[in-house]
Amino acid sequence: MKWLIIAGLLGALILLVSRMMQAGEVPKVGTAAPDFNLPDQHGQNHTLKDFGGKWLVLYFYPKDDTPGCTREACAFRDDLHQLTELGVQVAGISVDDSNSHAEFAQKYHLPFPLLADTNADTAERYGVLMNFIVARLARRYTFLIDPQGRISKVYDKVETSLHSKEIITDLKRIQGKV
């Protein structure tokens, strides 16, 4: 009987933790991208409309200045010229604050906005929030948003050092430049 009680409590705990970690629903390809209004590393606010008329690579990442997040950000930095030639703007989002983003951007010379989603509302609307009770992080997802503000592609499995090249290849295909 004691084991049944322990198993029941363990099952309830697992269910509780899994529900707390679940994010909202990830927007589907073809739907309007959820809007946001977030400050960047310089304290300047950005909304989805600010990026309108161009393609937007909106990438969510867990934490500033960690190995995977640094590889991903630096790859976007290194490939920014190719992305810009394809009419693309890049913006990163995490739940870190603007000061953390400023240090990260300065350390690695990141020339694109890093948006501070400190209350995690945007990560929740994009379905990428991981809530661990004591900490919240954004999952590593990228949304390719077309010039009309619609989700064109969702990347849910990201190889950080190759991700920007993957997006460049996909954009060339989408834009008929292959």
Residue 53: give its domain's CATH number.
3.40.30.10
Cα–Cα distance, 82 to 84 (Å, whole number): 5
The residues annotated as belonging to the active site are 69
Q: Which are the contacts of 28, defined by CB distance < 8 A and separation ≥ 6? A: 151, 154
Residue range of the domain that includes 142 = 2-174
pLDDT at 23: 56
Total domains present in the chain:
1
Q: Which are the contacts of 23, defined by CB distance < 8 A and separation ≥ 6? A: 123, 124, 126, 127, 128, 129, 130, 131, 139
pLDDT tens profile 62-102? 999 999 999 999 999 999 999 999 999 999 999 999 999 99
pLDDT at 133: 72
- pTM assigned to the model: 0.86
Could you say which residues of the chain have pLDDT below 50?
Answer: 12, 15-21
Q: How many residues does the chain have?
A: 178
